[in-house]
Amino acid sequence: DRLKCVQTKHTKFVRDIVREVVGHAPYEKRCMELLKVSKDKRALKLLKRRLGTHIRG
């Protein structure tokens, strides 16, 4: 169901705080580096492999 993905203001705030404290996972850091050097397709392939589906990637 697509409506499960809708975030409330509070949920978004909490997740932002957690992300700020914890940081990024290694695959996310690698993906950001790939995007910096314009390797969009490679970054999508990496995320798709790590997360399971094209939409999540």
Q: What does the DSSP 8-state code read for residue 37?
A: T
pLDDT at 2 over 90: no
Cβ atoms 44, 27 nearer than 8 A: no
Q: What radius of gyration do the chain's Cα atoms show?
A: 14
2-51 sits in which CATH class? Answer: mainly alpha
Sign of CA dihedral 39, 23, 47, 4: negative
Distance CA 28, CA 34 (A): 10
Tell me the pTM: 0.61
* pLDDT tens digits, one per residue of 16-50: 999 889 888 898 899 999 999 989 999 999 899 88
How many Cα atoms sit within 13 Å of 27 on the Cβ side? Answer: 11
pLDDT of res. 1: 60
Query: What are the structural domain ranges in the chain?
Result: 2-51
Q: Which helix (H) or strand (E) segment is 3 a member of?
A: none
